[in-house]
């Protein structure tokens, strides 16, 4: 994005262009936003590994303000019912989701979401919560091996398992990279705007594992979350999430067997009845996406993407 483009989008937001454009729009499906973690505005640049995945609190607040004012925030149950039963949705539905289970989502994101009346789904890895440990890739990054994470992620499953075991790193609850606590999960689960979903035990690339290992990662996560929250867990997000690369038809079968009725990939596109219930697409949200940039994507970029995809292409994940 050029500086000129950034300034132009900020001006278009300021004069109300995006608001007027969106007021007349009808989305071709549900915009599901995929976030990960949130960091305080005061956190210095460069202080987090994989920093693009940690949006600033003010960025999330600006996104919520825009969606609440120009679109209709919806809950995961609303999307689930629309996919399963064809129930009607508003003209511009948007669902917020957060992957991995960072504690910053409970401490920073949840109050922002509630202040703006924005529902959300939180897809959580159970192993780091149970062990009070860093997620394996954050542990690698903290010891200076951030550049090796992608290689380990794509390694054979047995090699990844060894790396995961070797990266066991205890973490205090106030650490910026800490996972949620069971108490955080219980608190979020009883709040009407939120739903807890599963994201595997340890965040492996499921397509690299055999069916038995995939089942252990998925089912054990679901059962742990149900113990902690006292509620059924029927939603799931695939780690990394690219169809045919990060998960397979075997994975989808295991997810279905685990009692999941809606699951999310990271394939870019609009969710809803145009996609399979267990392969709903999402739009990735990274640090640095301003309110005006999100408004532009909602009003123009993402809708052009949908127009370019035929129903056949969407169905096969193009």
Q: Is 210 within 8 Å of 92 (Cβ atoms)?
A: no
- Closest to 65 measured CA to CA, from 121, 113, 110, 120: 113
Rg for the chain (alpha carbons), in Å?
Answer: 19
Q: What is the pLDDT of the chain when averaged over all its residues?
A: 95
pLDDT of 271 above 60: yes
197-218 pLDDT, tens per residue?
999 999 999 999 999 999 999 9
d(CA 197, CA 184): 14
How far, in Å, CA of 206 to CA of 217, rounded? Answer: 8
Predicted confidence at residue 280, as pLDDT, reads: 98
Question: Is the pLDDT at 190 greater than 70, yes or no?
Answer: yes
Does residue 179 sit in helix, strand or coil? strand
Q: What is the dihedral of CA 201, 100, 75, 297, to 10 degrees?
A: -140
Q: How far apart are CA 243 and CA 76, in angstroms?
A: 21
d(CA 160, CA 158): 5
**Per-residue pLDDT tens over the stretch 214-227:** 999 999 999 999 99
pLDDT digits (tens, 9 = 90+) for 109-166: 999 999 999 999 999 999 999 999 999 999 999 999 999 999 999 999 999 999 999 9
Sign of the four-CA dihedral 161, 167, 170, 172: negative
pLDDT tens digits for range 58-68 = 999 999 999 99
Look up the pTM and report it. 0.95
Per the CB < 8 A criterion, the answer to whether 82 and 272 are in contact is yes
Q: Which residues pair with 98 in a beta bridge?
A: 35, 122
Residue 307's pLDDT is what? 78
Task: Flag whether pLDDT at 8 surpasses 70.
Answer: yes
């Amino acid at each position: 994005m050029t500086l000129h483009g950034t300034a132009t989008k900020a001006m278009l937001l300021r004069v109300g262009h995006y608001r007027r454009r969106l007021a007349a729009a009808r989305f071709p499906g549900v915009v599901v936003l995929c976030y990960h973690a949130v960091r305080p505005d005061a956190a210095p640049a460069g202080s987090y590994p994989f920093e693009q995945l940690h949006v600033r609190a003010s960025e999330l607040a600006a996104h919520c303000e825009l969606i609440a004012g120009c679109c209709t925030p919806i809950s995961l149950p609303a999307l689930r019912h629309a996919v399963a039963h064809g129930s009607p949705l508003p003209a511009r539905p948007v669902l917020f989701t957060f992957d991995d289970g960072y504690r910053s989502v409970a401490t920073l994101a949840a109050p922002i979401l509630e202040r703006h009346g924005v529902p959300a789904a939180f897809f959580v890895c159970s192993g780091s919560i149970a062990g009070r440990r860093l997620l394996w890739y954050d542990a690698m990054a903290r010891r200076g091996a951030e550049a090796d994470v992608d290689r380990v992620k794509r390694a054979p499953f047995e090699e990844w398992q060894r790396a995961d075991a070797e990266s066991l790193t205890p973490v205090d609850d106030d650490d910026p990279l800490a996972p949620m606590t069971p108490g955080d999960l219980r608190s979020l689960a009883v709040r009407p705007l939120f739903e807890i979903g599963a994201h595997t035990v340890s965040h492996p690339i499921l397509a690299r594992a055999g069916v038995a290992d995939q089942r252990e990662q998925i089912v054990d996560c679901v059962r742990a979350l149900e113990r902690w929250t006292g509620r059924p867990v029927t939603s799931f997000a695939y780690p990394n999430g690219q169809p045919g690369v990060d998960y397979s038809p075997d994975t989808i079968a295991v997810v279905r067997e685990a009692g999941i009725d809606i699951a999310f990939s990271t394939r870019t596109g609009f969710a809803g009845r145009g996609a399979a219930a267990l392969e709903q697409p999402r739009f990735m949200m990274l640090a640095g996406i301003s309110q005006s940039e999100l408004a532009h994507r909602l009003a123009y970029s993402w809708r052009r993407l949908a127009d370019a995809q035929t129903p056949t292409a969407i169905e096969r994940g193009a």
